[in-house]
Structure 1
Amino acid sequence: MHILSATGKRVELEEVSTEVEPSIGGPVFRLAGSEQTSTRITRAARAFLDMGMPGAATLAMEAREAQTIAEAPPAVFRETGTGLLRVVYKEVVVRFKAGTSDKVRDRILKKMGLAVRSQNPLVPDQVVAYDRAGKRAGAGIVEVANACGELEEIVFATPNFVSEFRRTVVPTIIDEQWHLENRAKVAGQKKNEDVKAAGAWAKTLGKAKVVVAVLDDGIDVEHPNLKANIRKNPDPAQPLDLCGRDFFIPDNTNPEHFNPRPKLFQFPFDEMTGNDIHGTPCAGVIAAVGKAGGALGIAPKCRILAVKIFHADNLASDARVADAIRYAALHADILSCSWSGPTSPDIELAIQDAGVLGRNGLGSAVFCAAGNDFGAAVGFPASHPDAIAVGASTDQGMLAAYSNVGPELWVVAPSSGGIAGIFTTDVSLPGRGFNLGTVSAGGTDGRHTNRFGGTSSATPLAAGVAALVLSVKPGLTRQQLKDILAQTADRIGPDHNPVTGHSDKFGFGHVNAAKAVAAALAMP
């Protein structure tokens, strides 16, 4: 059994067996083989089915005559993908195409054995219809809805489901992900030296429409902890663009140009030299889904756009990197660049262009790693005035010794350099990645690593915080977004300018996701 989504996609349903028992107050519903019953509660001429499950929402359905429930009971389904219960009785929701005449609508409904019960006051082309004969219920209504949905005059038709809704629960943060919530579980760590994820998640886990592009050496788009959050078909004008691009390969007639996965590997496979193993951990810091106890990103409901610009440490074309930035700006809200290179006018202009091309003129924010050169000047392109330069702090609340410094530094975010590294996704191909398959490195399956870090990890973490901010306030310009991160950062270190609040070591301070989201929500 299935239903059709508004786009025509099949949503599979599994019917759940039910039993109906008579009672003085009306029929009692029971899921077959279950002690949990559904009792009939009458409220204002409506019948409700209370599924009797702890914490479950009350399920409602229309019933003109209570006694007919026993004769033609509602059908209970579980949606295969989610496991959520869905109950349907005798109604179908139908939306006609704009301009369809009343005569045509009546003819279609009559042919389907339906009649209008009510019209949607906000969408006049949409109605709730019921089975006129009163004989079809449950599975029969699913079938008639699918038949209606196939008609040219109808935008969509679906059973008038009453469904189980689950309120979003703030995810559990495992101790290894101290950068999200630092409980000082490891000796030497300083409690609460983290990005304040829990406070932000009380407001939002991110929105799927907010996309963060990771420009790097490729992303393992089939990784079980990333796959659900990979942006699909980012460029509708190019059917080959299924999940991002490889700009190291310039020819868009080459199928590999449309394959942003890691491609180059050489022994030793757990070192960056010669291996495409850097982009996948970056993506996990942003939007790993936390599946089966795995790593959780700071914005686990946002999406990742995979943009491959490097093949390991092979030399890369400035022009192609610049074009990758422009492409990413067209299809993502935020760009995360955990790399540095020589100054390039083309790349400079590409970052500037991102302010015009991105988000319909609001601008795509470009986050760049300050660099890991032990106190050297902020590298390029992080030094660009339109970029957001990100340095690294540790789990002890100190500047990471490797983090570059300078007046261009905007903020710092938690990373390695103290007691522990960053736990995140790793290339899932066997024997490839920072973790070749040991418990000490992140797990025997090799799909996660606890050895990521540097400003390479701090940058996507800050970018993910920005994704949470845009999830609650999508109309911000990229400059407003940049300002919010500065204004809500926690000042650390003794050498901040008393007027500007800026420090060459820490920028405007330590990124605070909870404060940033709250500040965005408070804006008019």
Structure 2
Amino acid sequence: MMKKRLERFVCSLFMVVLMAGYGNAGMMTASAAGTAPYKEGELIVKYREGVSEEGKAEGHRRHGSERKKEFRDLNMEQVKIRPGLGVENAVKEFEADDDVEYAEPNYLLKASKIPTDPKFYSTWGMAKINAPAAWDNTTGSAGVVVAVIDSGVDYNHPDLKANMWINQAELNGKPGIDDDGDGVVDDIYGYNGVNNNGNPMDNNGHGTHVAGTIGAVGNNGIGVAGVNWTVKIMACKFLDANGSGYTSDAIECLQYVKKMKSRGVNIVATNNSWGGGGYSRALYDTINSQRDILFITAAGNAAANNDTTPSYPADYNLPNIIAVAATTSTDGLASFSNYGRRTVMVGAPGYSILSTYPNNQYAYLSGTSMATPHVTGLAALIKAKYPTMDWRGIKNLILSGGDRPSSLAAKTVTGRRIDAFGSLTCVDSRVFSALTYPATLQPGVATTLSALSINCSKPAGPVTVSLSTGGVLTMRDDGVYPDLAAGDGIFTGSWTPTGTAETLNFSSPVGAETVTVGK
């Protein structure tokens, strides 16, 4: 019966595509090489534990600065520095302050999209990830929520409206009043970090396109179907009309999501189809503070190797991050897509993807931005089928359930493109890969080794590393430093080399890999 409904849906979609015009988003230019761009006159400052409000205020008096925003549970502030003081000098000045743990620029972040020919009809992505077969298992659940952290979402789009998350207290409350006491007035569909209000309407298009891939309403006879026919999409806007935003606003969106999760909203993942800033410890700390929410992010569109040229936030070494490369309809790695044998986890369709666009439109876009929501959508679909599964099991099913196009063999950790049916019905699908090891060795200086070892949703241990100079290191997945999370399938150990060259033989019950370092 479901297959017959799907056939009727595809037929009606085909008619819509033939008869309707589709927009094409404008291209964004890349920033010049060199220091990552940031906002003039601002910093993000992290204070040391125990610094009082009075101490922070006294610090601002000393530095001639003022607080713009506070991220209280992170002990951070967005700070306006005194006139005439450059950002680089301000960082040095604040980091010399005994009350400050670190200070950094407020980096500029951008949507990771590339526009393409709007006349080419394609819904090939859903077929390539085997979504129709997965839909015979589940088409999603209204009890599962994903947050789109982007340029907002057109929550009135007819193909999205029924799947938007709604803050019932604000919907049924009084206009102009913070009815649920979360600090935001009238946040019915989410939050707007650009304008600091409760209206996350999309004025760029990128976020609406992303949302449609995750959860455009299925089997409704119009437009497209998302990976989930039924899901709830929370919108958080931090990218402006030009597709640009700042680290401080991204942090604010993540904090909003964390707050809603703590209030009982069943948020399984955030979709983060953006990047471009430098390494931000503040953003790292924010993502790390919400381990129970998957952070699914675009690998980047510079055709670069993230192993050697880091792209953030994709390259933060955190266990709840899944970095995504883009693939084509011919099973290739997209020409623009970043990749990384040790850093980019999986691939997903990201070239000429048809999805929702503001003002009741549809558009074709390309980019790792478009690949990422396929993975976020799969996270929600897995949660719909396995409601008690936590972020670790969901992540591992995403990684282990995929197929293996040859184009990804040496380009991602798993060598796989996601497969929704494979993830939902996973049986004895093994993934093993070394993740972390040093490029060079310093005798007597400890270094960290890690490897991914999973079978479907479960960790697969023990994992050992045999050394060519003798000895065996047993890796652990127990959450005790240097291991970052217990039971996530990433096994970690600390090793102190005695020489400048070594062959490391990683092995577990599900696989083995040999790497040579220092030669």
In the superposition, the TM-score normalised over structure 2's length comes to 0.53
- Cα distance in 1 between the residues matched to 2:338 and 2:345: 12
- Picking from 466, 469, 481, the partner of 2:382 is 469
- Cα distance in 1 between the residues matched to 2:422 and 2:386: 14
Bigger Cα displacement from structure 2, 202-211 vs 307-316: 307-316
What residue in structure 2 maps to residue 280 of structure 1? 208
Whether 2:354 is the aligned partner of 1:423: answer yes
- Picking from 141, 151, 156, the partner of 1:222 is 156
Match of 1:316, SS?
strand
Whether 2:395 is the aligned partner of 1:482: answer yes
Match of 2:374, SS?
helix
What residue in structure 1 maps to residue 313 of structure 2? 381
What residue in structure 2 maps to residue 88 of structure 1? none
1:401–1:388 Cα change, 3 Å: same
- Cα distance in 1 between the residues matched to 2:301 and 2:6: 33
What residue in structure 1 maps to residue 347 of structure 2? 412
Checking the alignment, whether the CA contact within 8 Å between 1:410 and 1:486 is kept in structure 2 is yes
TM alignment of 1:319-338, pairs within 5 A: 319-329=248-258, 330=261, 331=265, 332-338=267-273
1:509–1:249 Cα change, 3 Å: same
Whether 2:281 is the aligned partner of 1:345: answer yes
What residue in structure 2 maps to residue 213 of structure 1? 147
1:303–1:190 Cα change, 3 Å: closer
What residue in structure 1 maps to residue 198 of structure 2? 258
What residue in structure 2 maps to residue 298 of structure 1? 227
Shift of 1:240: 2.0
- Cα distance in 2 between the residues matched to 1:317 and 1:495: 32
For 2:145, give the aligned amino acid.
V
Checking the alignment, whether the CA contact within 8 Å between 2:346 and 2:412 is kept in structure 1 is no
Whether 2:461 is the aligned partner of 1:515: answer no
- Cα distance in 2 between the residues matched to 1:190 and 1:427: 22
Match of 2:270, SS?
strand
- Cα distance in 2 between the residues matched to 1:195 and 1:337: 20
Shift of 1:193: 6.4
Match of 1:208, SS?
strand
For 1:392, give the aligned amino acid.
A
For 1:384, give the aligned amino acid.
Y
For 2:323, give the aligned amino acid.
A
Shift of 1:506: 7.1
1:469–1:192 Cα change, 3 Å: closer
Residues 391-414 of structure 1: CA deviation (Å, up to 9, x unaligned): 111100111011101121011111
For 1:410, give the aligned amino acid.
M
1:478–1:283 Cα change, 3 Å: same
Shift of 1:190: 9.4
What residue in structure 2 maps to residue 289 of structure 1? 217
For 2:139, give the aligned amino acid.
L
Whether 2:361 is the aligned partner of 1:400: answer no
What residue in structure 2 maps to residue 448 of structure 1? 362
Which structure 2 residue ranges, 5 or more long, are not aligned? 19-119, 170-179, 429-455, 459-519
- Cα distance in 1 between the residues matched to 2:230 and 2:239: 27
- Cα distance in 1 between the residues matched to 2:302 and 2:335: 9
What residue in structure 1 maps to residue 187 of structure 2? 241
Shift of 1:297: 0.5
Match of 1:396, SS?
coil
Which structure 1 residue ranges, 5 or more long, are not aligned? 1-54, 56-165, 178-185, 251-256, 264-275, 356-362, 429-445, 497-502
Shift of 1:313: 3.4
Shift of 1:474: 2.1
1:400–1:234 Cα change, 3 Å: farther
- Cα distance in 1 between the residues matched to 2:406 and 2:201: 40
For 1:370, give the aligned amino acid.
A
- Cα distance in 2 between the residues matched to 1:426 and 1:191: 17
For 1:312, give the aligned amino acid.
A
- Picking from 371, 376, 401, the partner of 1:458 is 371
- Cα distance in 2 between the residues matched to 1:216 and 1:191: 21
Shift of 1:485: 1.2
Larger radius of gyration: 1
In the superposition, the TM-score normalised over structure 1's length comes to 0.52
1:346–1:168 Cα change, 3 Å: farther
Checking the alignment, whether the CA contact within 8 Å between 2:126 and 2:132 is kept in structure 1 is no
Checking the alignment, whether the CA contact within 8 Å between 1:190 and 1:397 is kept in structure 2 is no
- Cα distance in 1 between the residues matched to 2:299 and 2:283: 16
1:391–1:316 Cα change, 3 Å: same
- Cα distance in 2 between the residues matched to 1:277 and 1:427: 6
What is the number of equivalent residue pairs in this alignment? 299
Match of 2:142, SS?
coil
What residue in structure 2 maps to residue 19 of structure 1? none
CA RMSD of aligned residues (A): 3.2
Residues 422-474 of structure 1: CA deviation (Å, up to 9, x unaligned): 1110111xxxxxxxxxxxxxxxxx6111x212111110011101110011112
Match of 1:354, SS?
coil
- Cα distance in 2 between the residues matched to 1:314 and 1:190: 26
What residue in structure 1 maps to residue 494 of structure 2? none
1:398–1:494 Cα change, 3 Å: closer
Shift of 1:168: 10
1:227–1:189 Cα change, 3 Å: closer
Whether 2:303 is the aligned partner of 1:369: answer no
Checking the alignment, whether the CA contact within 8 Å between 1:399 and 1:505 is kept in structure 2 is no
Match of 2:140, SS?
coil
